[in-house]
Amino acid sequence: MTGALALKRAAPSLASGQAVRFAPRAAGCWLVTALCVGLPVAAAAQQVVFEGGAVPAPLTAVPADATRGKIVFVQREKGHCILCHALPDPEVRFAGNVGPPLAGIGSRLSAAQLRGRIVDPTQDEPDSVMPAYYRTSNLNRVARPYASRTVLSAQDIEDVIAYLLTLR
């Protein structure tokens, strides 16, 4: 599956349809079980393991696509990360400043750290204003169309990480 194909297929859906469930804390790690509930192509139940605020293991086995990651980052229907984060990119004319600007982020944070912050930033900073993009548990009164769905799919997140790692 190429990145372009993945984008095409994922675009009409609200989110990935994959759920994340938190298991009790064990040996300094957070165990997260991802359950597939709605994707037409069933992905196996997947575990997200936090080490501190980072997630070392990629969420998918598909090679990440930085070009697609930039689209996910910018698009309103996808991550829309530019709502809060500025990018060092002349194509991005407007960006918010609620979160830090991401110029040079690829040399400041590792893939594992970026993954942790995108999957669930409250693991690192409990009062974080940034939403958790790959979490469905311990949320309060989620509107029905979004219930048990993550904001982004696992592949979206891997592609965004690949894009962010190019910002050095």
Partner 1 sequence: MIRHLALLTLALGACTSVAPIRNIAEPRSGVTFTSNDIRKLQNDDAANPGMLWVEQGKALWRAGVEGAGVDNKSCASCHGDAEQAMRGVAARYPVYDAAAGNILNLEGRINQCRVHRQHAEPLRYESEGLLALTSYVAHQSRGMPIQASIDGPARPHFEAGQAHYVTRQGQLNLSCAHCHERNWGKMLLAEPISQGQSNGFPAYRLEWQGLGSLHRRLRACQFGIRAERSAAGSQELLDLELYLAWRANGLPVEAPGVRR
Q: Please give the residues from 28 up to 57 whose contact with partner 1 meets the rule CB under 8 A.
A: none
Residue 140 in the binding site for partner 1 (CB under 8 A): yes
In Å, how far are 30, 83, 128, 148 from 21, measured between CA atoms?
Answer: 10, 27, 19, 10
Phi (first) and psi of residue 20, to 5 degrees = -120, 130
Considering beta carbons, is residue 1 or 142 the nearer one to partner 1? 142
Whole-number minimum distance, CB 1 to partner 1, in Å? 26
- Give 152's Cβ-side CA count (13 Å radius): 30
Taking the complex as a whole, the smallest distance from the CB of residue 157 to partner 1 amounts, in Å, to: 15
Half-sphere exposure of 35 (CA within 13 A, CB side): 8
Q: In angstroms, give the least distance from the CB of 140 to partner 1.
A: 5
- Contact yes or no for 92/107 (Cβ under 8 A): no
**Shortest CB 135 distance to partner 1, Å:** 8
Q: How many of the chain's residues bind partner 1 (CB under 8 A)?
A: 22
Residues at the interface with partner 1 (CB under 8 A): 82-84, 94-98, 122, 129, 131-132, 139-146, 149, 151
